[in-house]
Amino acid sequence: MRGFLASSIGVATAAALALPLALPTPALAETAPVHPAGSTQSLPLVPLGPDMPRGSAVPGTTAEPRLAETQGLTAREVRKFSLVGVVWDDASTELYGHVQVRTRSTETATWTDWQDVETHNSEHAADPDAAERGSGRVRGATAPLWVGESDGVEVRVQAEPGAGATRSAARLPSGMRIELVDPGEPVATTDDKNGTGTGTGPEPGDGKGNVTVVPGMTPAMAETSNANVPMAALGANEIKALNKADSTADAVLAGDGTLAAAGTPYIGPRPRIVTRKGWGADESLREPGFVYTSTVKAAFVHHSASGNNYACKDAPAVLRSLYRYHVVSSGWRDFGYNFAVDKCGTVYEGRAGGVVKAVLGAHTMGFNTNSMGVVVLGSFSSSAPPAAAVDAVSRLTAWKLGLFNMDPRAKTTLTSGGGNRYPKGRAVRMNVISGHRDGFATECPGKRLYGKLSTTRTSSARLQGRP
């Protein structure tokens, strides 16, 4: 496999040097209209030449050589984008194979080397019996890859034998498409346009569940902001950090007033959290309303597997791209994770519904109920996670788990909703702070980040003030 890829890469690289300045521009299938807030180009993959032989028969047997189906797109010019991923029709179909892309930078007008796209399949998703999973819109998807602003793309997907392959051939899922995501710019409200977007507008609501909309804010934007009041005013770009003593009041908002009244509960100081408005989420993309579970018993740590080639100032754009990929390309109801952390340690609100609440996510198939998902932006299978990011995970879990009286060093029991590691209905004992791989057979959150979880548990408990 690697020999074939190496030869194909060499040929493609040589060909790239001879590419004309004006590349072919295909007819584009838009899964969302072009908009300042972002857009998605969705291009169907096509067969690339004849199927390639994948090994030969063992001497003395009658076994036929395996065939590897190959699909992709030749190099072409497209509208600008910053993130790529491959999707297919059936979310229950696994992709056994290798996905590689190369892109052309708008800044330098040069092509990158071929880059691998992680084929993590269905492991980041809603549980099999969740309403989100049965919406009819959910697709199979690779991990997304952040490539920076680009205007050219080439992709090759080659099948490998797997559990779903026949004896004589390795085949790819049907309906494969490459998704090219442009994060666009943050959606501005009237206050932002006037230079006053600090979240100091009127408090929302009339005490009956109705939401006051600040001029310039859509109802969906107000709905999302309302879920974080009174921690932050309607339309705030951030939720401010609090010391440990003042953070106790957050337990009332989380629904545990008895915990807040318990003298010295073990709740860590609230970290500063950039709201969805702060990172520019387009609230018109997600489904309306919120879905909650009864509590938060565990935190699952993930990596986005989208690469480490981003600057901290670009993290909001990375989040807007991931959000579009989750909702528009993959068919989820909202951003999959409850929180995100960038390489500089900034914490971001993820799935809408209120940062103190037990919001149902789509991060760890089988264990989304009564848990939270924290994604560190980057890839950490071979690269060490930045210390600032690891520290941020400790601070975030010390606060959020403390709101639900959970000791980060302890173990808890979750009931599986179904997945490739535990059957539906099985009670599973696991760490309160776990890695994604503890609930699903996956490499996530990467070997190097997973190795930091032991110290994260200790640091988180210390921040809670536990003996």
8 Å CB contact between 42 and 329 = yes
Res. 408: pLDDT tops 60: yes
8 Å CB contact between 256 and 215 = no
pLDDT per residue over 4-28, tens digit each?
Answer: 344 344 434 444 433 444 566 554 4
Q: What is the dihedral of CA 443, 448, 451, 453, to 10 degrees?
A: -90
Tokens standing for 376?
Answer: 């560190």
Q: What is the DSSP string of 256-303?
A: -HHHHTSSS---PPPPPEE-HHHHT--TTSSPSS--B-S---EEEEEE
In this prediction, residue 194 carries a pLDDT of 37
> Mean pLDDT, to the nearest integer, of 138-166?
87
Tokens standing for 283?
Answer: 């609230």
Res. 101: pLDDT tops 90: yes
Confidence of residue 418 (pLDDT cuts 50, 70, 90): confident
Least confidently predicted of 167-181, 220-234, 240-254, 428-442: 167-181
Res. 65: pLDDT tops 70: no
For 389, the enclosing helix (H) or strand (E) is: helix 387-403
Cα–Cα nearest to 121, from 150, 146, 90: 90
Cα–Cα nearest to 231, from 278, 273, 277, 288: 273
Spatial separation of the C-alpha atoms in residues 361 and 438, rounded to whole Å: 17
Cα–Cα nearest to 390, from 347, 452, 340, 339: 452
In this prediction, residue 208 carries a pLDDT of 39
Q: What is the DSSP string of 34-100?
A: --TT-EEEEEE-EE-SSPEEE--PPTTS-PPPEEE-EEEEEEEEEEEEEEEEEEES-TTS---EEEE
Spatial separation of the C-alpha atoms in residues 250 and 242, rounded to whole Å: 10
Which distant-in-sequence residues (6+ apart) come within 8 Å of 308 by Cβ?
343, 378, 379, 383
Spatial separation of the C-alpha atoms in residues 383 and 448, rounded to whole Å: 7
Spatial separation of the C-alpha atoms in residues 237 and 195, rounded to whole Å: 13
pLDDT per residue over 196-248, tens digit each?
Answer: 333 333 334 433 345 555 667 888 999 999 999 999 999 999 999 999 999 99
Neighbour count for residue 412 (Cβ, 10 Å): 18
How far CA 328 is from CA of 85, 196, 318, 334, in Å, comes to 12, 31, 15, 9
Spatial separation of the C-alpha atoms in residues 81 and 41, rounded to whole Å: 8
Residue spans of the domains in the chain: they are 2-182, 238-464
Residue 74 CB-half CA count within 13 A: 11
Return the CATH fold of 238-464: Lysozyme-like (3.40.80)
Least confidently predicted of 151-165, 286-300, 439-453: 151-165
Res. 249: pLDDT tops 90: yes
Confidence of residue 3 (pLDDT cuts 50, 70, 90): very low
116: helix, strand or coil:
strand
Q: Which residues lie across from 414 on neighbouring strands?
A: 428
Spatial separation of the C-alpha atoms in residues 164 and 248, rounded to whole Å: 51
Q: What is the DSSP string of 397-450?
A: HHHHHHHTT--TTSEEEEE----SSS-TT-EEEEESEEEGGGTSSS-TT-HHHH
